[in-house]
Amino acid sequence: MTPSQAEFRAWPFQEARTIIAQRQPAGDRPVLFETGFGPSGLPHIGTFAEVARTEWVRQAYGYLTGQPTRLLAFSDDMDGLRKVPLNVPQPQMLEQHLGKPLHVVPDPYGESTSYSAYMNAKLKAFLDAYGFDYAFQSSCAAYRAGHFDEGLQILLDKVADVRAIILPTLNESRRAVWSPFFPVCPDCGSVYATRVTGYHPERGTVDFVCDGQVGQVPGCGACGELPVTGGHVKVGWKVDWALRWFAYQVDYEMYGKDLIDSARLSGRIVRLMGRRPPVGLTYELFLDEEGRKISKSVGRGVTVDAWTRYAPLASLLYFIYQNPRRAKRLHWDIVPRCVDDYLAALRRYPEVPAAERPEQDVWHLFDRGRRVPEYGARVDFTTVNNLIAALGTDSERVLVDYLERYDPSARRYRDTITGLVQKGLNYYRDFVLPGMELRSPSSDERAMLRDLHERLAVADEADEETLQAIPFDVARAAGIQPRALFQSFYEVVFGQERGPRFGSFVRLVGKDKMLEMLASRLQA
RNA sequence: GAGCCCGUAGCUCAGCUGGUAGAGCAGCGGACUUUUAAUCCGUUGGUCGCGGGUUCGAUUCCCGCCGGGCUCGCCA
């Protein structure tokens, strides 16, 4: 490590240095970065953020040490469906599957083989869209493949100690019956209607009875003895976390501040099992407009789908990168500004001396600086959105042309510019256009617009000055202030108070198009 | 009760390892245009929550307090 690398202050480097200090990885196996996902509901920005941020730490770690690393995205699809989320279809159908592991609950969207498969696919689609290099691991598959067998036997051997750690944190009423093990009922498939009635460490099994109830779904009454290994039994939340840390020897995992207590307990359990917990970063949660935690099951806040529909994906990553330890409210207002900040960062990047680039946000976002897009145009997202509103046009081509006249250097970054225009248009079409009311012209206005139409029809469309003079001639002829004419014109034709310069707009869209627009409004 | 975060210009927020504060929007003034602009220039405005400490010097570090918010304490 060079001295300059030791001084990098960007947070992924700070995390990486903590790993070096606390875990002292020898490099004899890939250093493992884990991120956990609960497929009990639709992934939200926090879910994506966790993977993205973990990936950035991993990249920084690899940069500092040159050691092999691995990112494991773990999905707990053995978790049971405890309640039906408010924001997914077919609640009645799901109601019947309460208590079963998510990987056997049907997909309410009818697109995937199971509930969790659908949720997992959403997560993977996002990660793949950005080219994240990760290994996906389903919990169910891990249990069945025996990844956890060694740890499960240890937990069974030390079940009294595990209970001693967890019981004080539980409600008095649950302490007597609580077990770290959740048998999957071989008859009805429920994980939450069962309870353990006896432990047999010497045989590696537990006794169980399926006599509980989840929602309106009762247990089937089955009972018997099951091996704790091989996926017949899962372990409960905090124990499960510890089990993963143990089995995979996780070196690094971040989590939201809501899981601080859980992480502490899981840390005690993994130590009990004989290994050290990973280095962890607790990040602040993303909040909705009202400052409340964003929820998987209720669906508040700006969704990832919405962000990427109305703004570039990279701008979302840019937002996610910022200050993980700081709570951020997520509402639409911040998005355009975030895009502009992102563009500004791209613009600055080439000026930054090579040695200092790892301190730049975009260095982390784009493959350790290897794929940072070039962007040198003045055009920013605010400009684009203002222009869309001003021109009131739905045409991508017209907008791009206009922007390239406004800033000729924009031609060199046409892909980026086009992207901005497309996202801005999505927003315009979805939110501005439907609510826009074109006012019908009054009789006076009708006369002026007709006059405008007539004069324009005979004008030379190649001369912008001539075109620009027309509305003033109309105003003069009608004996009113040009300002009043323009206001009427914009309100009636564009549905807004202000608009583009008349002459240049006609030059751009063409005289015929303008005549057509006027004619159609004259009929209103 | 415990933990985390925040408290900087009217609003939304930046301020990285300490050297008397910045942006965007809003406001005000001006330019340009045949008094329409997505334009450009200029400009007003802050005891950096309060009180201590460290320091030659703190918005920036430490302690305490006040105020606001969230999370956990039901379950995984």
pLDDT in tens, A170-214: 888 888 889 999 999 999 999 999 999 999 999 999 999 999 989
Q: What six digits make up the tokens of A347? A: 């613009």
CA of A327 to C1' of B47 (A): 28
Q: Tell me the C-alpha distance between A231 and A191, whole Å.
A: 11
Average pLDDT over residues A86-98: 91
C1’ B4 / CA A212, Å: 36
Residue A316 lies in a domain: yes
Tokens of A411: 């031609």
User: What's the confidence (pLDDT) of residue A97?
Assistant: 94
Q: Measuring from the CA of residue A475 to each C1' atom, give the nucleotide at the shortest distance.
A: B34
Check if the beta carbon of residue A98 is closer than 8 Å to that of residue A217. Answer: yes
Q: Which residue has the higher pLDDT, A140 or A410?
A: A140
CA of A331 to C1' of B68 (A): 20
What is the pLDDT, as a whole number, of residue A325? 87
Residue A504 falls inside a structural domain: yes
Is A417 in the same domain as A467? no
Share of chain A above pLDDT 90, in %: 43
> What's the CA gap between A377 and A361, in Å, rounded?
19
pLDDT of the residue at A1: 39
Asked if residue A281 lies in contact with residue A324, where contact means CB atoms within 8 angstroms, the answer is: yes
Domain check: are A429 and A457 in the same one? Answer: no
Task: Annotate A31-71 with DSSP letters as a single string.
Answer: EEEEEEE-TTS---HHHHHHHHHHHHHHHHHHHHH---EEE
User: For A122 and B26, how far is CA from C1' in angstroms?
Assistant: 41
Query: Does the nearest atom of strand B lie within 7 Å of A292's Cβ?
Result: yes
Task: Calculate mean pLDDT across residues A423-441.
Answer: 79
Per-residue pLDDT reduced to its tens digit, A145-175 = 999 999 999 999 999 999 999 998 888 888 8
Helices (H), A75-224: 91-95, 115-129, 139-145, 149-157, 159-166, 172-175
A161 in helix, strand or coil?
Answer: helix
| Helix (H), strand (E) at residue A503 | helix A502-509
Least confident of A236-250, A269-283, A448-462, A506-520: A506-520
Q: What is the structure's pLDDT at A74?
A: 95
Q: Which nucleotide is nearest to A262 (CA to C1')?
A: B72
- For residue A2, the model assigns a pLDDT of 40
Instruction: Please give the average per-residue pLDDT across A13-17, as a whole number.
Output: 90
Model confidence band, residue A356 (pLDDT cutoffs 50, 70, 90):
confident
Task: Provide mean pLDDT across the span A442-460.
Answer: 86
Report CA(A462)–C1'(B36) in Å, whole number.
21
Plot region of A491 (φ>0 → left; ψ -120 to 50 → alpha; else → beta): alpha
Q: Which nucleotide is nearest to A498 (CA to C1')?
A: B36
Q: What is the CB-side half-sphere exposure of residue A458 using CA atoms within 13 A?
A: 5
Cβ count within 10 A of residue A408: 10
Please check whether strand B approaches the CB of A177 to within 7 Å.
Answer: no
User: Which has more pLDDT, A180 or A86?
Assistant: A180
Q: Which of residues 41-80 of A touch strand B (CB under 7 A)?
A: 76, 79
Residues 462-501 of A with CB under 7 A from strand B: 465, 468-469, 472, 481-483, 486, 490, 498-501
Average pLDDT, chain A: 87
pLDDT band at A4 (very low <50, low <70, confident <90, very high): low
As a rounded value in angstroms, the CA-to-C1' distance for A386 and B29 is 24
Provide the whole-model pTM: 0.89
Can you give the pLDDT at residue A151? 97
Contacts 24+ apart (CB under 8 A), A241-244: A241/A36, A241/A266, A242/A266, A242/A267, A242/A269, A242/A270, A242/A273, A242/A277, A243/A148, A243/A151, A243/A152, A243/A155, A243/A273, A244/A34, A244/A36, A244/A74, A244/A148
Q: What is the per-residue pLDDT across A216-247, written as a single tens digit (0 to 9) for each?
A: 899 999 999 999 999 999 999 899 999 999 99
The verdict on A408 and A481 lying in the same domain is no
Distance of CA A467 to the CA centre of its chain: 48
Top mean pLDDT of A16-20, A207-211, A327-331, A487-491 is at A207-211
Question: Sign of torsion, CA A158 A164 A166 A167?
Answer: positive
pLDDT at A371 over 70: yes
Q: Of A235, A250, A279, which residue is a domain's last?
A: A235
Q: Give residues 404-463 of chain A lying near strand B (Cβ < 7 A).
A: 406
Q: Which uninterrupted H or E stretch holds A488?
A: helix A482-489
CB atoms within 10 A of CB A71: 22
The conformation of residue A226, written as its DSSP 8-state character, comes to: E
Q: What whole-number distance in Å separates Cα of residue A54 and Cα of residue A477?
A: 68
Q: Please check whether residue A223 lies inside any domain of the structure.
A: yes
A377 CA, B36 C1': Å apart = 27
Of the given ranges (A127-131, A186-190, A367-371), which has the lowest mean pLDDT? A127-131
Judgement on whether residues A318 and A399 belong to the same structural domain of the protein: yes
Find the Å distance, CA of residue A38 to C1' of nucleotide B76: 9
**Residue A243: both structure tokens together:** 């089990």
Distance A338 CA to B13 C1' (A): 11
As a rounded value in angstroms, the CA-to-C1' distance for A21 and B17 is 19
Is the C-beta of residue A334 closer than 7 Å to nucleic acid chain B? yes
A383: domain range?
311-323+332-435
Q: Indicate if A194 and A225 belong to the same structural domain.
A: yes
Q: A483 and A424 share a domain?
A: no
**A261 CB less than 7 Å from any atom of strand B:** yes
Number of domains in chain A: 3
Beta strands in A307-408 (DSSP E): 328-329
Of A390, A419, A435, the residue at which a domain comes to its end is A435
Between A21-25, A361-365, A443-447, the lowest mean confidence (pLDDT) is in A443-447
Same domain, A421 and A482: no
- The ipTM, to two decimals, is 0.86
Is the CB of residue A348 inside 7 Å of nucleic acid strand B?
Answer: no
Q: Is residue A373 in some structural domain?
A: yes
pLDDT over 80 (residue A333): no
Quick one: A342 and A429 in the same domain? Answer: yes
Length of chain A: 524
The answer as to whether A350 is a domain residue is yes
Q: What is the pLDDT of residue A52?
A: 92
> Looking at the domain assignment, is residue A21 inside a domain?
no
pLDDT of residue A364: 92
Residue A397 shares a structural domain with residue A318: yes
Kindly state whether residues A407 and A473 are assigned to the same domain: no
Residue A5 has pLDDT above 70, yes or no: no
Amino acid at A262: S
